[in-house]
Structure 1
């Protein structure tokens, strides 16, 4: 498919934020067949330009040295990094988007009188603004650009340091950082900021389409957890936990979403929902084969937890919550806690029977099959792992549901009830048996110290009245740009700012945002080397 929208809405999908100042070679480059060049439709060309700009970005390249789930050191080259993860998310997103685009094409043919039967899913996708496979791929390529060194650990540390020590109440968020890179920090060497992507691609990266400040002060009495989008969190005193744009980029977010008038406020576009779902699938399945190859997952521990819950489900259901929380290491207890959290937050889809069936399936296919024999690097071991991955990807991609009016905690494109519970249990295996492993604690504390001392070290350097001018050139430029933008925001949209908004406060906020931009742009190894140089260790 080429053009996925209709009329003005379709045109706004492909509109770029800034006017191009020269003719791109891509505009005249068509697809060739045996009879010569076949020109692509304008929309298809524009979307392919987006994808190429992201692929050639230095921020995309650095993901090859950014932790995905666990550090690569000590386990060889088998572990995913953020780059390989992004490529697999893109592959899964392409398959799902192609399926929806095909259904949309069937609906279009029916409308033109060229098909005898309409496709209701295609009709829904069309009304919501369309689904283009390249846009979904671009969003998948871009979705982790904002991850700082050491992945989610670095993200949590930078957020804490920003709010507790640097005077930046808005903090740091990986999704918002990705959008900031696309629209502000990255450059094509031209006279405008960012990569100048189409509205469709920019909107497709907005997994949490709001700012942190948008949810400040909303109590659970006013809006219960079950009626809040995923990522907002129960306690919104300090704003949303997850968000896709800082205040500085709020206008960019609004401009991108304006191209989708049929998408309700706070809801992902169709292509964004495809990317988000593909991210979940890749995380749940592809990362699991990492752990199997590296020997991180132990069959006895995984099987013990899952089987303990299956055989003691009634007894576990009768245990008081406080007792479960205190004894979470006991077999079956953590899985019971997962079920209770799921039931509390996602009662719209959570079902005890479906959860039990999911635990049983994961127990059989992961604990009793995938992990039954240790991975030894041989052909049989590799076939077992790759076969597991293929089966699950095929199963999940064929378990797609499209809804025109989704639940507030869901999206227009989601998994059906069975597959939704299965992914929940697969992600539990990651969290409980990998992320929470005591063996990682020492390494992660060291990584947290590196990120903390980098941020605080650059703050000390920039506030040194004698030596500040010798700080890295890019950092100094970003300080000037972020500070100037903060003053403009106070003038034009003061309601978006939080914290100290005096002149001195805004200068401190601008400096803090630039420090976060600089540290977050480092790879794992760059962070380690920069920390050594900055601290003299």
Structure 2
């Protein structure tokens, strides 16, 4: 690899100089090694995928999920780079190096807070409504903040000093919540996936995004080598590989998990898919009101998803392909894997492994590279048959796991825990008598965020707006933003168990001084 290649440039030009020892020689392999060595990566072993990792040894956590995404991403990238036509197209679009795709996959979940997506939603609400941070909290943006700013183990002690290509590949949603790029993708008639504003919060910016205002310089630098090759709102090819691999792993492995622990049951899944297949025409004839009124009856939820796909993804959705996908999932998941309960036997383990291997191979074989994809898709995507199959697999997970009342009960408690933890830490930060006894990590995060927001206020004051769109001005307001970002950074860096333990200590419930290290 030519070190003068702009894709191989590092955040800090001096970061590959003496004083810091890397074992690999390829710049992209160095990035992979730095990510794996990061404590932010190690903590993912204690962070929820769906159900809390603390008490469920059979379930995926964010670490095992990231390793599987990396495995799939590398396989996809090797296929693309090893095939003449797709390799040539990928090169024109900016490149597809397997090491870059793998590194991005390993890094893509670094920013996930305790309790997974539930923690992410809670911290976003707190960041915007309590601290007035217009760009709130987002797991993808937090991952980018970690690799460019808050992880101090790179040679410059500011981020990991990763190459341009890897930083760009981590940008799954290559825009900020509100400001970049200009024009912002939320203004497009049919925005990219994730760029639309939340239906219940108009005016708040994109639902998903990958950079806060404090990291916009790093964002611009990472995207610069791809100018003119891809649209400002498009993923790089390597980011698209990572995104596709994430979808594949998510669609398969969570179903495995909940089959293993007996949550995903044969009867309700069979009824839902079977009813739709047997009565698709009758269900399609129902008006939306009647469908909603009957939503608890089998087949209705799947029909509603089919209609939603037509609304959002008309570029690819096809009713015949959808029906074939439902049929395949019924044969291989319902009549196959779920037909027998998981009892820990050799046969059950082999059936689970065979299901995972078969589906992973099929979906990876369905990957294609497109020169002019839909705005709703990256340059790397799945063929229509496999795309519909992923949607059906994800539907089963959402309908029969995520929407369970017992999981909702559990998650409401976790949301309350995160909220209480933020309240307690914020109160500690504002207690002048206790300032000298703050955790050093929290103190350093406040100083870091204060420097960042002060710089933005001097150089790009138009970017500093509150959660309701008002300009943020004055020293006290800047300190308030910095305090909020620091608390959010601190809480987001904890594992599930650490979050519980820190709150117990702050609430006086711990029976002894809590000494387990909780700093990164």
TM-score relative to the length of structure 2: 0.92
Q: Secondary structure at the match of 2:335?
A: helix
User: Which among 123, 126, 141 is matched to residue 91 of structure 2?
Assistant: 126
Q: Who is 1:11 aligned against? A: 5
CA distance in 1, matches of 2:21, 2:127: 42
Q: CA deviation at 1:238?
A: 0.5
**Secondary structure at the residue paired with 1:214?**
coil
Aligned with 1:401 (options 347, 362, 368): 368
Superposition pairs for residues 139-158 of structure 1, below 5 Å?
Answer: 139-158=104-123
Displacement of 1:260: 1.6
Match of 1:106 in 2: none
CA distance in 1, matches of 2:54, 2:499: 15
Q: Determine the structure 1 residue equivalent to 2:515.
A: none
Query: How many angstroms apart in 2 are the aligned matches of 1:477 and 1:78?
Result: 37
Structure 2 match to 1:95: 75
Partner of 2:513: none
CA distance in 2, matches of 1:159, 1:427: 24
Equivalent residue for 2:512?
none
Name the structure 1 match of 2:33: 52
**In structure 1, what is the Cα distance between the partners aligned to 2:426 and 2:434?**
12
C-alpha change, 1:191 and 1:419, in structure 2 (3 Å) is: closer
Contact 1:187 1:194 in 2 (8 A): yes
1:348 is matched with which residue?
Answer: 315
Instruction: Give the distance between the partners of 1:325 and 1:532, measured in 2 at CA.
Output: 43
Task: Return the alpha-carbon distance in structure 2 between the equivalents of residues 144 and 229 of structure 1.
Answer: 21
Q: Does 1:492 align with 2:459?
A: yes
Match of 2:192 among 216, 229, 254: 229
Residue aligned with 2:179, SS:
helix
How many pairs align?
498
Match of 1:258 in 2: 224
CA spacing shift, 1:159–1:83, aligned 2, 3 Å: same
Structure 1: unaligned runs, 5 residues or longer? 30-39, 104-118
Cα deviation, residue 218, structure 1: 9.5
CA-based RMSD: 2.1
Aligned match of 1:370: 337
Distance (Å, rounded) in 2 between the aligned partners of 1:95 and 1:330:
40
User: Is the 1:216–1:239 Cα contact (8 Å) retained in structure 2?
Assistant: no
TM-score (norm 1): 0.89
Contact 1:217 1:237 in 2 (8 A): no
2:142 match: secondary structure: helix
Residue 526 (1) aligns with residue 459 (2): no
Aligned position for 2:102: 137
Distance 1:97 1:363, change over 3 A: same
Q: Name the structure 2 match of 1:283.
A: 250
Which string of whole-angstrom CA distances, capped at 9 and with x for unpartnered residues, describes residues 117-157 of structure 1?
xx322221111111111111100100000000000000000
What are the ranges of 5 or more consecutive residues in structure 2 without an aligned counterpart? 510-520
Quote the Cα distance in structure 1 between the aligned partners of 2:437 and 2:430: 12
Could you say what secondary structure the match of 1:228 adopts? Answer: coil
- In structure 2, how many angstroms separate the alpha carbons of the residues matched to 1:84 and 1:73? 14
Q: 2:411 aligned with 1:431, yes or no?
A: no
For the Cα contact (< 8 Å) 2:46–2:53, is it kept in 1?
Answer: no
- Can you list the C-alpha shifts for 1:378-414, whole angstroms capped at 9, x where unaligned? 1111111111111111111111110122111100100
TM-superposed CA distance for 1:490, in Å, is: 1.9
Corresponding position of 1:177? 142
Cα deviation for residue 321 of structure 1 reads 1.9
CA displacement at 1:497 relative to structure 2: 2.3
